[in-house]
Each structure stands twice: as C-alpha cells, then as structure tokens.
Amino acid sequence: MSTEMHAITVTVNGTHYSRQVEGRLLLSDFLRHDLLLAGTHVGCEHGVCGACTVIFDGAPVRSCLMFAAQTDGHRIETVEGLAADRDHLHPLQQAMRDCHGLQCGYCTPGILMTMKVFLEETPNPDEAQIREALSGNLCRCTGYQHIVEAVQLAAERMRK
Amino acid sequence: MKPAPFQYVAAQTIEQALQLKAEHGDEARFLAGGQSLVPTMNFRLTQPAMLIDINPLNELAGVSNGAGERLRIGALTRYRNLERDPATAPHLPLIAEALPHIAHPQIRNRGTIGGNLAHADPASEMPAIVLTLGGRLRAQSAKGERWIDAANFFVGALTTALEPDEMLMEVELPKAPPRSGACFMEMSRRRGDFAIIGVACIVRLDDQGRCAEARIGLCNAGDGPVFATQASASLAGRTIGKDEIGEAAKLVQSAIDPGGSIHASKEFQRHVAGVLTTRALTKANERARGAA
C-alpha cells in the first residue's frame, strides 16, 4: 500500500508530463531522475540551502520539501526553462556570467529561480532588498558580492 | 535523506480529511506547507504511515472577520499571503513585524500558519505571538468542533492539545485596539535562522496615558511559547517609563527557562531576553503613544 503509485500530469517549463510516482518521491528527485532535468540541484535536502529552488505556480519554493504527487495539475519552472534558446541567456544568467556571480555553480540554479520572481515583483531593487531576497540561498564560494552585483545589473538591463 | 514509504492521499474535502484522520489517528499526519514536517521526514525522524495532503482544500486559506474586533486566519493561509494581505499590517502588527524573521521567502511561499501552530516548535515565532495576543484556535474532528484558548493549546515542545482525530482549522486573533502599540524583536545567528530569543510586546494605554494592559510573550525561552504573566501584570495601571520597563525585563528574565544550545547558553539567552524585552517594550510604548 505504501508503494502505491499516483498518476500525475504536471507542466514543467511549458511541457506537459504524465508520470506515475510513488507518494514519497520528492519533487527535486522527480525533476532530476524522472524528467532528467538535472539543472535543479540538491544540496541539503531539508530546506536550508536553497539549491533546489524551483518556481511552483509562480512562487519560488524548495523542491526538496514537496512531493511530486503534490504537483498534479500544477505548473513548474526550472532553470532549464530560463533561457529563451541556446544562444540567448536570460538577463539574469547573462549578468551572473558578466559579473562572475558564480564559481562552482552548485547554488546558481536555485539563486536564478529565486531572483527571477524577485525581479518580476521588484524591478528596481536596492542592495538591501536583494540581500534579503537572497537570504534563503547559500553560496559557499562567492561571498555573495558578485551575485548582488549581477542581480543589480540584470535589473538594470531588464528595465530597459 | 529520503522519506520512509507512506500512503499519500490528496484530500478532496474537509470531511474526507477528517474521516481519514479519525481512522488512522496518530499514524496519519496532515500535510500543509510541509516546511517543518518534510525536513523531519527526509531525516526519517518522522515516519507517518499516511500523509493527508490538505493543500487542495482552498477553503482553509484566507483572512476573514471573526466575532467583534477579531480576525480569523484559515489554517492553510501561507505566510506569503499574510505578508500581502492588507489587513495584516494595521490589524495584526505583531505578525507583520515577525514575518520577515520567519525563515526565507521560499519557505514563506509554502509555510502555513496552521501548520506552524500545530507543529508547535518552541523556537517558532507564531505560537508566541498567538499566545501573546490571547488568540483562540478552532479544532475540528469528524465528531464536531471546539475552540481552544492559546493558553491551553500549546502543551509543550512540539505538543499541542489537538487530539489524534482533530485538525486545526483556523486561529482567531484580536485586532490591535486603539491607543495600543506592538513590537516584535528577535535575535538569531543569521537572518531567517531559528530564534535565539524572540520577544512580542503589546502595550495598550488608557485615557490618561497610563498602561491599561501590557502583554509580553517569548519564543525559544522554554518548552513552549512563554507568556510572561508577572512581567505583563507589573505594568498595568502605571505610566511606563525606564524604571517600569527595567522591572518588567527583570521579571521576564526570572520567569523563563531557556534550553541553551551550542549557539547560545542559557545565561546568554536570559540576557538577550532582558535586552529585547527592554527594547521591544520601549518601542511598543512609543507606538501606543503615537497611536493615542
């Protein structure tokens, strides 16, 4: 009974996927192992690090704290859906590259998904707002300075 | 770091959710935001046989008017909704001030007030605030419903008065009355971390500018949220100044029994409780004077 499968249909980056999932399958593992969208990274698996952040029905959430079975009929965006195409990065991605906002890159997908919604809601943020919005994403390489600069640059470019 | 197997049921109606809880009791857990429950499941500290997912039950979310000057917040109301609800800042200023301290934006996008209160973490902000406000909570089972005063709801660490067949449906809180001021302050090691100590204060003034009522509550200061009865009572009928605040802060320090941790010793927590009580009371008193 406990390994009962649940039929779900979920929209990820605009594509509908229908799958059978076990109740205990975490959304983060569903994205990585079932849909082979391994851009969503798994860090701590208890909601602290933010690496697994995806956009669920328009809001950034921890995918390690949701079950795949909960996403039936819902809409998810992951880092794979961020760039318009292979040659055109999202302004946030481009700015992270231009400002050296990443080193190892493990935390980057979670930060990008957090900041995408943040900039949509706060198009003209000050540094304090950016740091507050970033507070749920751990980065052990950069010291955050270049990430903050990248978000500022992306905001500037996106306002034009 | 993966949950143990369990049976997952997405509840279609409140009745179905309550029926399942009546059948499975403590073996079943309600899944609301999951921001406290799922981490413990990932660590296998919690291994429920069944998860009853109440997220489809939209009727459990939202802020509405209660009896008199009170607001009702549905159990499934997410922190993010409270941050954006126009009623929060004017009517529930303690909650408005505490929200930024509650974890991070991504957590607040999922976390619910009902899940948080039912989880009853002593370090959590919301139980201390509901207790300080003198709120009450509605529990429902397949057999019926009952209201539980906050003072009787929080039994101990991660323990509430909810019976195994009951679900927390909503919490009712008084709106901030005229001539009152509130203040919430918290110290943590990093933004969004669990509180080392948090203090919630309310001051209500009478026509002469004396304190008609003061209420002081704390988080992470004992086995559950703490209401500082003596310190609160010490201020009633007096004009609040430096001496009165200092006296109340000392009473708070002697009333609490913080657990201590690797991040902060009991002595340090007690010290911080005194400092934050002084600051928060001063601020709440100023705000009450500004509102008078």
Q: What angle do CA B49, B55, B60 make, to 5 degrees?
A: 115
The per-residue pLDDT for A2 is 58
Residue B31 backbone phi and psi in degrees, to 5: -105, 110
- Cα of B125 to nearest chain A Cα, Å: 18
Give B109's contacts in chain A (Cβ within 8 Å).
56, 59-61
pLDDT, averaged per 10 consecutive residues of chain B (292 residues), comes to 94 98 98 98 97 98 94 98 96 98 97 98 97 98 98 97 98 97 96 94 97 98 98 98 98 97 96 98 97 72
Average pLDDT over residues A29-45: 98
The alpha-carbon gap from A109 to the nearest alpha carbon of chain B, in Å, equals 14
**Residue B184: DSSP 8-state:** E
> What is the set of domains in chain A, with CATH numbers?
5-81 (3.10.20.30), 91-159 (1.10.150.120)
Number of H helices and E strands in chain A, helices first, is 5, 5
User: What radius of gyration, in Å, describes the C-alpha atoms of chain B?
Assistant: 19
Beta-bridged to residue B53, according to DSSP, are: B10, B31
pTM: 0.96
| Percent of chain A residues past pLDDT 90, beyond the cut | 97
Q: For position B191, what pLDDT does the model report? A: 86
CB contact residues (below 8 A), chain B span 47-86, against chain A = 49, 51, 53, 55, 80
* Residue ranges of domains in chain B, CATH in brackets: 7-53 (3.30.43.10), 58-174 (3.30.465.10), 180-291 (3.30.390.50)
Tell me the average pLDDT across A60-73. 98
Task: Say which of B5, B38, B51 has its CB closest to residue A3.
Answer: B5
CB contacts of A62 in chain B (<8 Å) are 35, 106-107, 110
Please state the ipTM of this predicted complex.
0.95
* Nearest residue on chain B to A54, alpha-carbon basis: B106
In angstroms, what separates the C-alpha of A12 from chain B's closest C-alpha?
Answer: 18
Chain B neighbors of A3, CB-CB under 8 A: 5
CA distance A96 to B117: 39
Of the candidates B77, B72, B137, which has an alpha carbon nearest to the alpha carbon of residue B109?
B77
Q: Using 50, 70 and 90 to split pLDDT, how confident is the model at A3?
A: confident
